[in-house]
A and B are shown apart, each in its own frame.
Chain A
Amino acid sequence: MKIVVEQVSKKYKDKVAIDNLSFEIEGPAIVGFLGHNGAGKTTLLNIFASLISATSGKVLINGEEVFDNTNAMKQICFIAETDNFFNQLTISQLFKSNQLFYENWDQEYASQLLNRFKLNEKLKIKNLSKGMTSALGIIMGLACRTPIVIFDEPYIGLDAASRSLFYDLLLEEYTENPRLFIMSTHLIDEVADLFNEVIILQEGKLLLKDSYMNIQQKLFKVKGKKQDVESFINGKKVIHHSSFLNEVHALVKLNNQEAAQLKTHSVLSFEPIKLQELMILLSKQYREEI
């Protein structure tokens, strides 16, 4: 399972939603697709799922261009924030048609998931609450068993308990049937530990693409007195820097040796950066650079 993005741009009239992006995603993995509102996440995910075309560039799925390509499209299940299902259908009718749409649709698993989320298959989709509709989208994404599943903000209206259930199920499903799950979310810290890889977009550009482990092992928030911090960060890659009274906070990217050095530092305090904070700081840095 490999998605290759080659110099993809998408323009809406004068607005550039995606700006000459190039990167690769390889599965099986759970990939976090992060960014502020309007960063271009949904646009890019829509291009992945062939729902819209790119203005220029191409997206390849396992070597085949995805746009309107039946072979590539059948490898993807796309669950959007809303409007995933026609609301006149009952859940059982939806599942019946899904058996035909998805080659590997697991009906038994879908029924089990319905029980876990306490949904009745006789219910009409139009009568479901927002949270129940989101749960149905999640069930569809997990039971479709396509090699690539895209969740674009899948849990609107879903309570904390159901979100936690979703994370457990996602992990369970990923372990039993390893696939490529791409998840766009704003509840970053809640889900960060699930990610193998993280992609952060900002104004249509790629801000960061790295494994979650690397981020945790290489990016540190260093705190201490101004002179101590300044002397430590000197010559290192500083992503963000701020000071309050005499205390200085710096986000630095370190190699293994530097990280070990920091861990034994007697004066400075440090902690690995949280993903949400990293995204905010990277965005700030990006804006300042512009």
Chain B
Amino acid sequence: MKKMSAMLLYLFYQLRYETVLFWSINALFMFSFTIISLIYPDKINFTIMPSGPIYVLVIVVGTKWITRSLSYLLRLGVSRKLYALGSLLFTLLYTFVHCLIILLFYGIFKFLSITDFDSLDFLHPSQFIFSDLSTMLTFTFTPSPWQIFITDFIIINCIMLISMLISILFHRLGKLGGYSILAGILFLFTLSLTFGWLSKLFEIIMNTNIVLNLIYLLVFIIALATTYYFSTKKISIYCTLK
């Protein structure tokens, strides 16, 4: 338990600076747009998506995960099992904090929109996930705070875990192996577009109950986390194929 707390503290110190820096820049941009929209309500109309940049941030954090944490933590006596569990727990906490901040921003913007302020539009993936086809296309659906939170929580976790798996892929197989497998996945993706498998999947998702879709996504996250857990077994600080 002590080592787990130490690991979480260490990762917190490690990511604190860039997270604060990132949110400061993100907030600065969003508030700049808000102020411009307030000054020129008839001339300018902005659409912003506060959670968009977070998805990019977690891709960066996730793909560098192994390089930035494994060798340091193993040297501090953390076992691989603890490393995997600690990474997953930290991912949950990290995602939770981001989701809370996103929610805070939506709260602020919602407050502004109550005051007849409509030259700023907000875009959030929950508008697609929780709305039906008619409201989805007109962007008239306003998600509730918990819908925003749960959507971001699932999306950020998925992105972070996939990025962490990519970082393991590159660590274990080297650049050549990593890029080859990514190319293979891209090829499969192109095939699925060509043969319309993706549109069929999309259709199935659209026709399935939202709660059921969320459960599927949660199962997908658990599958990613399990894959991550097992892929750190016997991992070395150096590339395995070196």
Query: A residues near B, CB below 8 A?
Result: 12-13, 46, 49-53, 68-70, 73-74, 76-78, 80, 83-86, 88-89, 93, 96-98, 100-103, 146
CB-defined contacts of A46 to chain B, threshold 8 Å: 237
B10 A86 Cβ-Cβ under 8 A = yes
Inter-subunit contact B79/A70 (CB<8 Å)? yes
Q: Which residues of A contact B75 (CB under 8 A)?
A: 49, 51, 78, 80, 84
Complex interface: chain A residues within 8 A of B81 (CB): 68
Q: Is the CB of B236 within 8 A of A13?
A: no
Q: How far is the CA of A174 from the CA of B56 in the complex (A)?
A: 50
CB <8 Å contact, B72 and A68: no
Interface string of B1-42 (1 = CB under 8 A from A): 011011001100110111000000000000000000000000
B89 to chain A, nearest CB (A): 15
| Interchain CB contact under 8 A, B9 and A100 | yes
Chain A residues in 8 Å Cβ range of B18: 88
B231: which A residues are within 8 A, CB to CB? Answer: none
Task: Check B234 for interface membership: any CB of A closer than 8 A.
Answer: yes
A89 touches B3 (CB 8 A): no
Query: B74 near A88 (CB under 8 angstroms)?
Result: no
Give A68 to B237 CA distance when docked, in angstroms: 12
Cβ A53 vs Cβ B5 within 8 A: no
Residues 46-59 of B, flagged 1 when their CB comes within 8 A of A and 0 if not, give 00000000000000
Identify which of B13, B76, B236, B242 gathers the most chain A CB atoms within 10 Å of its CB.
B76
With a CB–CB cut-off of 8 A, which chain B residues contact A50?
74, 79
Q: Give chain B's interface secondary structure class.
A: helix
Contact A97 B6 (CB under 8 A): yes
Cβ-defined contact, B9 with A13, below 8 A: no
Q: Per DSSP, are chain A's interface residues mostly helix, strand or loop, or mixed?
A: loop
**Pairs across A and B, CB under 8 Å, 9 listed:** A68-B81, A70-B82, A73-B78, A74-B3, A77-B77, A84-B72, A86-B69, A89-B14, A97-B6
Contacts A13-B241, A100-B2 given; does A86 touch B13 at CB 8 Å: yes
Report yes or no: A86 in contact with B72, Cβ–Cβ below 8 A: yes
Tell me the smallest distance from the CB of B78 to a CB of chain A, in Å. 8
Decide if A101 touches B236 in the complex (CB within 8 Å).
Answer: no
Contact A52 B13 (CB under 8 A): no
The interface on chain B, measured as residues whose beta carbon lies within 8 A of the other chain's beta carbons, has a size of 30
Expressed in whole angstroms, the Cα–Cα distance for A101 and B82 within the complex equals 12
Let me know if B237 and A52 touch, CB within 8 A.
yes
Residues of A within 8 A of B6 (CB): 97, 100-101
In the assembled complex, B68 has its CB within 8 A of some CB on chain A:
yes
Q: Is the CB of B74 within 8 A of A51?
A: yes
Tell whether, in the assembled complex, residue B237 and residue A12 are in contact, meaning their CB atoms are under 8 Å apart: no
User: In the assembly, what is the distance between CA of A153 and CA of B47, in Å?
Assistant: 56
Interface pair A52/B238, CB less than 8 Å apart: yes
Q: Which residues of B are found within 8 Å of A101, using beta-carbon distances?
A: 3, 6, 10, 76-78
Which has the most chain B C-beta neighbours within 10 Å: A49, A51, A69, A80? A51
A237, B115: Cα distance in complex, Å? 96
Chain B residues near A85 (CB, 8 Å)?
Answer: 72
Smallest CB–CB gap between B37 and chain A, Å? 36
In the assembled complex, the CB of A64 is this many whole angstroms from the nearest CB of chain B, namely 13
Does B135 touch A at the CB level, under 8 Å?
A: no
Residues of A within 8 A of B16 (CB): 88
Q: In whole Å, how far is A288's beta carbon from the nearest beta carbon of chain B?
A: 31
Residues of A within 8 A of B190 (CB): none
Instruction: Flag if B236 contacts A53 (CB, 8 Å).
Output: yes
Contact A68 B234 (CB under 8 A): yes
The interface residues of chain B lying within 8 Å CB-to-CB of A52 are 236-238
Contact assessment for A83 and B14 in the assembled complex, using a CB-CB cutoff below 8 Å: no
**Across-interface contacts of A96 in B (CB, < 8 A):** 9
Chain B nearest CB from A284 CB (Å) reads 30
Contact with A along B65-93 (1 / 0, CB 8 A): 00011011011111111100000000000
Please list the 3 inter-chain residue pairs (A to B) with the smallest Cβ-Cβ separation, ordered nearest first. Answer: A100-B6, A52-B236, A101-B76
Q: A146 to B77: give the CA distance in the assembly, Å.
A: 11
A81 shortest CB reach to chain B, Å:
12
**Min CB gap B229→A, angstroms:** 13
B11's nearest neighbour on chain A, judged by CB, is A86
Q: Given the interface contacts A68-B81, A101-B76, does A89 sit within 8 Å of B236 by beta carbon?
A: no
Cβ-closest chain B residue relative to A85: B72
Q: Which of B105-161 contact A (CB under 8 A)?
A: none
Distance in angstroms from A219 CB to nearest chain B CB is 36
